[in-house]
Amino acid sequence: MKATINTSEGEFTVVFSSAGLMSLVFPLGVNEIFIPEDLEEPTEEQFQNYLSLTKAALNSMIDGEPPEQLPPLDLSLGTEFQQLVWNTLLEIPWGETWTYAQLGREVDRPTGARAVGTACGANPVPVLVPCHRVLSSSGGLCGFTAGLPWKQRLLEIEGAWLPLKVAVGD
């Protein structure tokens, strides 16, 4: 089930399965949508509920405030490692930024920062799964599936864009 959400930043496209939000696409349609053939469509009731939650969360973030409630996410299309990384991303506090190395430690891969970055790039639900809050150890943006401008914009919205003073959790 595909739908669109209008925000002040443009029109996002989202895809829902019976389990929840499956994919989110930026206004410019940079990232592609992958819908498995055996996808289980959500009921009209679920769809309305998911769409409502997604829209609220998305608008909150673009408005500069942390979303109160995220919609359920269907991450079944990723590998175990990817799901582990995405799940860890959800634990990053609003306005904080982590580094790929730090994230690697969290998932028990102290030296697997690169693999973590690749997993983040495979994230089907940008923004809501804060893959944009992850920077390189030197405070650089490195990369972003939908384009670096988006990554920087999102960080500015959260007030987390501090290259020289990247949140030093720990």
- Left (φ > 0), alpha (ψ -120 to 50) or beta: where does 144 sit? beta
User: Which of residues 53 and 151 has its CB atom nearest to DNA in the complex?
Assistant: 151
120 is catalytic: no
Length of the chain: 170
Q: Rounded distance, CA 98 to CA 92, Å?
A: 8
We find the least distance from the C-beta atom of residue 73 to DNA, in angstroms, to be 15
User: Which of residues 143 and 159 has its CB atom nearest to DNA in the complex?
Assistant: 143
Q: Is the dihedral of CA 92, 19, 126, 154 positive or negative?
A: negative
Question: Tokens representing 8?
Answer: 């002040």
Residues 83-112 as x/- pattern, contact with DNA by CB under 7 A = ----------------xxx-------x-xx
Per-residue CA distances from 70 to 21, 56, 99, 130, 149 (Å): 10, 8, 23, 12, 24
Q: 167 φ, ψ to 5°?
A: -40, 115
Residues 49-88 as x/- pattern, contact with DNA by CB under 7 A = -----------------------------xxxxx------
Contacts to DNA from residues 114-143, by CB under 7 A: 114-121, 123, 126, 131-132, 134, 136-138, 140, 142-143
We find the least distance from the C-beta atom of residue 5 to DNA, in angstroms, to be 19
Cα R_g (the chain), whole angstroms = 16
We find the least distance from the C-beta atom of residue 45 to DNA, in angstroms, to be 32
**In the complex, which residues of this chain contact DNA (CB under 7 A)?**
78-82, 99-101, 109, 111-121, 123, 126, 131-132, 134, 136-138, 140, 142-145
Catalytic machinery residues: 131
